[in-house]
Structure 1
Amino acid sequence: MEQSAYFTDLQLLAGLISLGIAYLVGKKLIFSRLISDKKCQHLVFGSAACMFILWMFRTGIYDGLSVHFLWLSALPLLLGFRWAIFSATLALLGVTLFGQESIQMLGVNFLLGILAPIALTYGFYSVTFHKLPRHIFIYIFLCAFIPGALTIGLKMLALSGYFYLDGLYTWQVIEDNYLILSTLMLFPEAMFNGMTITLLIIYKPEWVYTFYDKLYLDKK
């Protein structure tokens, strides 16, 4: 696929929707914390830096049909929903600036590659927190491990649909060179996110925004 200098209709629509969502999310964030709270600075910008490095390492044959780890299930558990979106957006802007993603795909990547995976993970966390027993193994497996597999599957399936609907590739090319790789990524992504959260709640539980010692550990 040749990189076009123009935006398609779907890319423009995704860009406009992304701007609206980014505004709504940003309006609820207390940005003064990034100045006054050193812990917040380290977690938000440190997470963005880690994701930037992680997302720079990718593989793929066709432009856009590249595969890389996401780490977007551990992130909202670590930072919370809004700060996770902010941190991941910084990483996306970084990889776009360095040429790993095209500027035309910025809105699409935000919606399908950041917002959807983070929303799915936070949805899993909310349901398990309110509907299931608050047990550490439930937290690890149902909030990090399983969503880790589902988020990368969701992103790759959603992007496959986008590339097909926008006429950028035929479905055969997408299936043979991109979608088929999703089955290979499910377990490693799940393990990566599950191990991240496991190590954090063991060694640095105070860093994990959604983890509460009194609820998950006391009297267990």
Structure 2
Amino acid sequence: MHITDAKGAVGRIFLAMLLMVILTLSVVVNALELIICRHGEAEQNTGGWYSSNPRHPSYIEAHLTSRGIRQVRQLGSDLKSTGLTADNICQVVASPLPRTCESARNVMDVLSVPEHTLIIEPKLIESQVGDRESQQVAQYNDKDFWFPANPESFNGETREAIKTRMFDAVTAIYHKCRHQSGYVLLFSHGAPVYLLLERLTGTGERLPTGGCKRLTVTPAML
């Protein structure tokens, strides 16, 4: 090989490596650090009834139990111990139901995050259960009460519909916050969180009440 050919080959390798570094940095710069949280234990969890739609005439509000409050305040302490502070949390987004808003505000209180950081996002709401609103979960004997068969039969929401709205919410959050440094805390419900993780990562996860999942959202996931 001639010296000029060798220099050309080295140059091409250098340029290829430089391009890889640039692409990698681009992904990092455009990534969103998302912490997906499930609300703490609430009254409908212990009472075994559905509470999903404030506009339904049978709707009954469900608030955090004392245990649920302890769970989310512990979540706040755990996040604080990993370095989260008011200075590096750029947004908190929550489902409009009382149990998620209360969870978000308790975590924010532990971390001293100001109230104006909180945004209520309707797309993060609980799985809609239609005609089952406020009824006892156990009376239906579903194989999996998170994902009952044929939800259309009782005017409930399908898995795909839940997954789509959750994904749309995160996509909007991504485009709004991706250029900001810091974390976004997202507060939602068990089944919607499972379906969101399934859509973003290919694998769902059943978070416990007061649990969370850290996720770096990149353009390739959207």
TM-score (norm 2): 0.34
Larger radius of gyration: 2
More strand by share: 2
Q: RCO (CA 8 Å, sep 6+): is it higher in 1 or 2?
A: 2
TM-score (norm 1): 0.34
